[in-house]
Amino acid sequence: MEPLVAEKVAPSMPRLGSLAPDFQAETTHGTIRLEDFRGSWLILFSHPADFTPVCTTEFVAFAQIAPELKKRNVELMGLSIDSTYSHIAWVRNIEQNFGVKIPFPVIADLNKEVATLYGMIMPGESKTETSRCVFVIDPNGILRAMIYYPLTTGRNMDEILRLIDALQTTDKHGVATPANWRPGEKVIVPPPKTTEAAEERVHAGYECKDWYFCRKAL
């Protein structure tokens, strides 16, 4: 458990299917490393700034889905280019004004280190604020999904829950999920990779429109 050495970070974009970039950061819950979340899913998300209206609605909304995420072994962690003191004041303000306690840590990324590492800053939108990014990192530290929203538009929590359900269903059953899929609905059987498998597929008892398009109930 040696402290990580701070290095200058080059701007980058994370890649799906690769290890999520490692970091150590100061948060409202103390010093946290990405590796501290191993064994759990993590939703790392950024917001433009504390004490702004859309971000406040999002924080309330993230706090409201936190219990559902917990049931799915998912932790949340926020980030913006603000100080720990600003974050503390804001989450206290949210509790006072909206009656919602923020249960997750928030990274104080004043030096933009994590924001730069994860490509959270879109200079065309703002050079001093992070856009509304969501990174879904699995229990092995692999980046599994990314969502980027502009400064003006609050995120959809139902979609974030749906995304988690879809990813976990894929991992558990080795299937894919169709457009607008919801838990309980039929899933997509991954297409066959050989002519022999394609032939077998037709007779495998799946609901097939064609050899490449088969669905099944779980």
Partner 1 sequence: MGCINADGTLIASATKLLRAMQSPISLEEAARQTELPLYRVRSSMREFLQARLVEEKDGRFVVTAAGKARISTQP
User: Does the protein bind partner 1 through residue 30 (CB under 8 A)?
Assistant: yes
User: E strands, 106-155, where?
Assistant: 106-108, 132-137, 143-149
Nearer to partner 1, 1 or 6 (CB): 1
**Pairwise CA distance, residues 89 & 67, whole Å:** 23
Tokens of 124: 């065309």
Q: Which of 9, 40, 52, 169 binds partner 1 (CB under 8 A)?
A: 40
Nearer to partner 1, 164 or 166 (CB): 164
User: Does the protein bind partner 1 through residue 90 (CB under 8 A)?
Assistant: no
CB of 51 to partner 1, least distance (A): 23
**Pairwise CA distance, residues 57 & 154, whole Å:** 8
Site for partner 1 in 45-84 (CB under 8 A): 75
Strand partners, 26: 31
Of the listed pieces 32-40, 45-53, 56-64, 122-130, which binds partner 1 according to CB under 8 A? 32-40
Question: Contact 114/23 with Cβ under 8 angstroms?
Answer: yes
User: Does the protein bind partner 1 through residue 29 (CB under 8 A)?
Assistant: yes
Q: Which of 185, 191, 184 is nearest to 208 (CA)?
A: 191
User: Does the protein bind partner 1 through residue 32 (CB under 8 A)?
Assistant: yes
Nearer to partner 1, 29 or 173 (CB): 29
Tokens of 2: 């040696």
**Pairwise CA distance, residues 192 & 200, whole Å:** 9
Question: Contact 213/203 with Cβ under 8 angstroms?
Answer: no
**Pairwise CA distance, residues 103 & 84, whole Å:** 15
Of the listed pieces 27-35, 123-131, 181-189, 200-208, which binds partner 1 according to CB under 8 A? 27-35
Of the listed pieces 35-43, 46-54, 161-169, 170-178, which binds partner 1 according to CB under 8 A? 35-43
User: Does the protein bind partner 1 through residue 123 (CB under 8 A)?
Assistant: no
Say which residue the tokens 């699995």 belong to.
Answer: 138
For the annotated catalytic residues, the residue numbers are: 55
**Pairwise CA distance, residues 199 & 39, whole Å:** 39
Q: Which of 37, 41, 118, 135 binds partner 1 (CB under 8 A)?
A: 37
Nearer to partner 1, 27 or 80 (CB): 27
Interface with partner 1 (CB under 8 A)? 1, 27, 29-33, 35-37, 39-40, 75
